[in-house]
Chains A and B, each alone.
Chain A
Amino acid sequence: MALKMTYNVDMCFCIDATGSMGPVISRVKENALSFYKDVTQEMERKQKSLNSMRVRVIVFRDYVADEEPMMATKFFELPAQAAQFEACINSIEAKGGGDEPEDGLEALAYAIRSDWTKEGTKRRNVIVVWTDASTHEIGYAKSQPKYPKGMPKDFNELTQWWGDSQMEPYIKNAAKRLVLFAPNAPYWQHVTSTWNNVIHYPSTAGKGLAEYTYKEIVDAICNSI
């Protein structure tokens, strides 16, 4: 009998919550309560099991155009806090957005700086980005009053935050995974081509990730673990 690998998984969802993202946000809402069960079942099929799972959510939009450009939750322990996680997901509203690029790289920066668990072996720190838009260069909106302190000053510094096999300032190299549902557009292309441990699922700009079913999304996440 094959031994199952057991993982301690932290996930950080970076969700573009601008208006066009309604379809995928609705899909996630419909399945939020069963998300833990669905991931567990998919992991079982892949001969893997979960020892622990936590999820947090970052909702991003546009620092220039939106009143709530970057909002974040704490980690939810699943399955114990499945109901709270569902309520959290259901509270997200797809709205706003100014120009077509959004501020996805800032969301990625926050995700990298999550309070990842350091306990247990076989850790996986999975960042999942959902967007149907290209992204501004990091720092594009730095003159805005809401723009936070401490952001990387450019893409190179953000790349350093992500790290590599030689340096891992904020997230363990062996544990980190980036699952990117995003268009083939500048900066997302840079991430895909220059960062390690990235899986890119191209999306069509402006279509709210309509091309991906919930099952495909769960499968993609589980493939990364």
Chain B
Amino acid sequence: MYCKKCGAEIRRNAKFCAKCGTPAPVVDSVRPDPTHSDPVRPAVTPPAGSTHLFCRKCGAEIRRGAKFCAKCGETAPSAKPSVATAAEAYKPPVKPPEEVKKAEEAPKLIITLPETKSGGSNGQFDEWFSDAGDL
């Protein structure tokens, strides 16, 4: 399975792209685990047969039995009300309006290609230049 945003390969059962954080498409293999329930909150369980839980803070997979998320250090869901899917676990922080605006502007910096005067692209260079070759 490949991320629709960045094209990186997403591991089976992964809920987020490990490269860019985009939620992965929901697949049939992800099913709630009826064996794992939270006495305090309604059961939001990990995929059946999966040994992994998902961090509610960063969305990273956490091995069952681990007490903390290896990625961000958040207490593992087993010690808190559990979650079933990374999509439910990971909630992007709510940004104030000016921060949201900045976040909206940021992708322009990411996707904008370099201006030709600052360096050009390999394709443009290849249009004009060729290997000098043998004499």
**A binding-site residues for B, Cβ under 8 Å:** 26, 29-30, 57-59, 68, 70-73, 84, 87-88, 90-95, 109-110, 113, 146, 148-151
Least CB distance from A47 to B in Å reads 34
* Bound Cα distance from A113 to B134, whole angstroms: 11
Give the residues from 91 to 135 in chain B that come closer than 8 angstroms, CB to CB, to chain A.
116-121, 124-125, 127-135
Least CB distance from A224 to B in Å reads 24
A110 touches B117 (CB 8 A): no
* Bound Cα distance from A148 to B131, whole angstroms: 10
B116 touches A150 (CB 8 A): no
Q: A149 with B134: in contact, given A90-B117, A91-B120, A91-B125 (CB under 8 Å)?
A: yes
A93 touches B132 (CB 8 A): no
B134 touches A148 (CB 8 A): yes
Least CB distance from B34 to A in Å reads 56
A93 touches B129 (CB 8 A): no
A30 touches B135 (CB 8 A): no
A149 touches B116 (CB 8 A): no
Q: A92 with B125: in contact, given A29-B117, A30-B117 (CB under 8 Å)?
A: yes
Least CB distance from A147 to B in Å reads 10
